[in-house]
């Protein structure tokens, strides 16, 4: 199996997230609920570029509702057109990113319905996970912790301490069960303690800094810095390029062939959080190196070369965009700002349907394919939400 294909299908192959018997019973008890009302938006873009960027974000969110929205307890179909086989497994980490994407919309619009949607997705994630917070993948739980931290801070969520409490429970669980006693680093999966990777350590570092600042507790910062030290010593090149993982096949080898945008995005995000905690500008300089090498080596003209064909890989570029936006909140990088603009321009030039919705493909330089995955649509939403924030700056 080629490396890229392996990365795309690894969770599917491992049958991630089939609901437990308890979860299945809860899903049955919930029964179907009406589909959420569709977002309505003008089919014509505004002439003012400052208004065009938030319009685009709303168009992609409208596509998310129109093409992937489902009655409870599914809430989100995993493919369009709807495919029962695609909907059968439960994608824990896709749903965590769906919460983040709903929060992006809430921050842009101020509409309580978007925040309600994020809360609904949170409840649904644990419900469909067998009414459990934890699963077997440490990166998955890190993504949910990050979404919960944002939810805890969201306007209108004041007084809901359970989101922060659950984020703490997840971080403690990852540390207690996932920190390697053999050389350090967070491992990827329970029962596979030889394999450590960027996807597991990145969210853990970012969440650790945010938890430290939210609670003042030193343990979160100490853990984050221990993980970051292992990560930088093992998987981050002097050029700034970030590799995916090490020792996957128990041979000590680094997966240098797995050159994915999300690894770069995670390291950028970790450097930004270290800067926000410690104030060292060298951290932003390290992030800038990773941005530079990503734009030089992972792009195809004005867009990213696709990391794969849907599946897990559909989400990879969205993670880069999210943390690129966090970097630009702290520092200037004209080439990165231009890339976000030109790539989302290409997305709309090639894949906008002309009816107030967009259905995204993985290759933004080409028309959208006839079928696509929720992961791919979430990436388009993340990117256009970042572009909307930049347009306001």
Domains assigned to the chain: 36-69+134-392 (1.50.10.20)
- The answer to whether residues 323 and 388 touch, using CB atoms and an 8 Å cutoff, is no
What is the average pLDDT score of the chain?
Answer: 90
Of 224, 222, 217, 180, nearest in space to 202 by CA:
224
The arithmetic mean of pLDDT across residues 367-386, rounded, is: 97
Burial of 50 (0-12, 13-18, 19+ CB in 10 A): exposed
Q: Which structure tokens are listed for 370? A: 């006839």
The arithmetic mean of pLDDT across residues 118-132, rounded, is: 97
- Band (156; pLDDT cuts 50, 70, 90): low
Residue position matching structure tokens 């922060």: 164
pLDDT of residue 38: 63
Q: Which structure tokens are listed for 141? A: 């739980």
Whether residue 9 has pLDDT greater than 60: no
pLDDT of residue 29: 40
**Pairing relation of β-strands 372-373 and 79-80?**
antiparallel
pLDDT of residue 120: 96
- Band (161; pLDDT cuts 50, 70, 90): confident
Q: Quickly count: other Cβ atoms within 10 Å of residue 370's Cβ.
A: 9
Residue position matching structure tokens 């992006």: 104
Residue 80 forms beta bridges with which residues?
372
- Band (250; pLDDT cuts 50, 70, 90): very high
**Pairing relation of β-strands 192-197 and 372-373?**
unpaired
Q: Report the Cα 376 to chain-centroid distance in Å.
A: 11
How far apart are alpha carbons 191 and 254 in whole angstroms?
A: 20
DSSP 45: P
The arithmetic mean of pLDDT across residues 332-354, rounded, is: 97
- Residues of the chain with pLDDT > 90: what percent? 84
44-89: pLDDT as tens digits: 888 887 899 999 999 999 999 999 999 999 999 999 999 999 999 9
274-326: pLDDT as tens digits: 999 999 999 999 999 999 999 999 999 999 999 999 999 999 999 999 999 99
pLDDT winner (highest mean) among 4-13, 20-29, 196-205: 196-205
The arithmetic mean of pLDDT across residues 103-128, rounded, is: 96
- The answer to whether residues 388 and 108 touch, using CB atoms and an 8 Å cutoff, is yes
pLDDT of residue 311: 97
- Band (155; pLDDT cuts 50, 70, 90): low
| 339 contacts: CB under 8 Å, gap ≥ 6 | 295, 299, 302
Whether residue 341 has pLDDT greater than 90: yes
The secondary structure element, H or E, covering residue 205 is helix 198-215
Got the DSSP string for 241-308?
A: -B--EE-TTSS--B-TT---HHHHHHHHHHHHHHHHHH--HHHHHHHHHHHHHHHHHSEETTEEPPSS
pLDDT of residue 157: 53
């Amino acid at each position: 199996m080629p490396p890229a294909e392996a990365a795309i299908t690894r969770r599917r192959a491992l049958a991630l997230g089939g609901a437990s018997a308890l979860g299945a019973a809860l899903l049955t008890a919930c029964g179907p609920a009406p589909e959420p009302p569709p977002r309505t938006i003008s089919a014509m873009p505004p002439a003012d570029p400052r208004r065009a960027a938030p319009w685009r974000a709303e168009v992609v969110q409208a596509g998310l509702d129109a093409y992937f929205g489902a009655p409870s307890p599914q809430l989100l179909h995993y493919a369009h057109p709807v495919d029962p086989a695609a909907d059968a497994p439960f994608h824990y980490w896709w749903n965590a990113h769906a919460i983040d994407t709903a929060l992006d919309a809430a921050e842009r619009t101020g509409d309580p319905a978007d925040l309600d949607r994020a809360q609904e997705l949170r409840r649904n994630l644990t419900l469909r996970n067998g009414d459990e917070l934890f699963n077997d993948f440490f990166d998955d739980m890190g993504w949910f912790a990050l979404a919960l931290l944002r939810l805890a801070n969201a306007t209108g969520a004041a007084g809901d301490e359970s989101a922060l409490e659950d984020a703490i429970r997840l971080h403690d669980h990852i540390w207690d069960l996932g920190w390697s006693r053999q050389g350090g680093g967070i491992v990827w999966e329970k029962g596979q303690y030889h394999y450590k990777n960027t996807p597991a350590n990145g969210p853990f570092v970012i969440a650790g800094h945010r938890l430290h600042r939210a609670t003042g507790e030193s343990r979160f910062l100490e853990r984050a810095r221990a993980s970051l030290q292992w990560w930088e010593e093992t998987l981050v090149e002097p050029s700034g390029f970030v590799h995916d993982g090490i020792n996957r096949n128990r041979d000590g080898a680094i997966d240098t062939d797995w050159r994915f945008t999300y690894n770069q995005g995670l390291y950028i995000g970790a450097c930004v959080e270290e800067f926000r905690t410690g104030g060292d500008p060298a951290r932003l300089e390290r992030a800038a190196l990773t941005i530079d090498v990503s734009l030089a080596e992972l792009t195809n003209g004005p867009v990213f070369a696709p990391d794969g064909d849907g599946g897990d890989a559909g989400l990879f570029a969205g993670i880069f965009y999210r943390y690129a936006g966090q970097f630009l909140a702290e520092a200037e990088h004209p080439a990165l700002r231009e890339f976000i603009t030109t790539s989302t321009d290409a997305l709309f030039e090639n894949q906008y349907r002309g009816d107030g919705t967009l259905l995204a493909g993985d290759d933004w330089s080409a028309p959208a394919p006839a079928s696509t995955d929720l992961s791919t649509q979430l990436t388009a939403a993340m990117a256009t939400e970042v572009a909307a924030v930049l347009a306001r700056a």
